[in-house]
Amino acid sequence: MARIWLTHRFGLHPLSAPGPGTGLANLGFSQGPYQSLNLGLRVGDDPGVVKRNRDQLKTLLELKELRFMDQIHGIDLEVVEDFSAPESQADALFLKRSTNAGQSSALAVQVADCIPVIIESEDLIGAIHIGRTGLTRGIAEVTADFALSKVPAEKLEVYLGPSICGDCYQVSPEIYGEIVAKYPAAGYKERENKIDIAAALIEILESFNISWNWFSGERICVSCAREFFSYRRDKVAGRQAMIVSY
């Protein structure tokens, strides 16, 4: 059984994996709009402070290794074998149990409005970043195909973390038309050009016969819930993360 943690801007969500760090708040060292547990290196925050934030989290969770990725809204995935290598440009990380020495190596996906997705099974875990651009490029299908090539669908568990809801996600008419043409379930309010990326992702998962759950048992919108970072709400914002480990 994998362990899963969810951070927000001040600490750990109370439903995070039991054990070290559970329910901790007032974590992190970032200031201003990044206050305080910003885990994103490419959002304008001091990189040294972000490293302190990541190191603090890693220590509190008693992790030997915590692998982030340089997310680019693409379809590339990495099967992690060397945790000491530089962050790869990818939007999905996977780790095979045979690669993991004990319960101390973890994968992380960081987001502000996009969907953090965790895949877990007895033999494979994954952390996936899915936003509007990555969705239209096919990241959900690519990662589903990969996971199913390793583990039968009935043995996979998928958790969707907090992301922006349809009512808070307005786009241009051109973007609305483009995404709804490919994923009709993404259409939320046509008159207002509002889209729901999570609805499209859920439709994709179900087309692969992959079961899924909201991480917290119910949907949370990061734009509505102010304890989370949201780029669309604030324009300048840090990044929270979902983390998975055996």
Question: Tens digit of pLDDT for each residue in 82-107?
Answer: 999 999 999 999 999 876 455 689 99
Question: Tens digit of pLDDT for each residue in 154-186?
Answer: 999 999 999 999 999 999 999 999 999 999 999
Q: Pairing relation of β-strands 115-120 and 187-189?
A: unpaired
Question: Tens digit of pLDDT for each residue in 50-93?
Answer: 999 999 999 999 999 999 999 999 999 999 999 999 999 999 99
Neighbours of 98 (CB within 10 A): 8
Phi, psi angles (nearest 5°) of residue 80? -75, 125
Bond into 36 cis (ω within 30): yes
CB-based burial of residue 103 (10 Å sphere; 0-12 exposed, 13-18 middle, 19+ buried)?
Answer: middle
Q: Which architecture, in CATH terms, is 3-245?
A: 4-Layer Sandwich (3.60)
- Tell me: pLDDT of 34 over 60: yes
Residue 25: pLDDT band (50, 70, 90) is: confident
Phi, psi angles (nearest 5°) of residue 106? -135, 155
Q: Specify the pTM.
A: 0.96
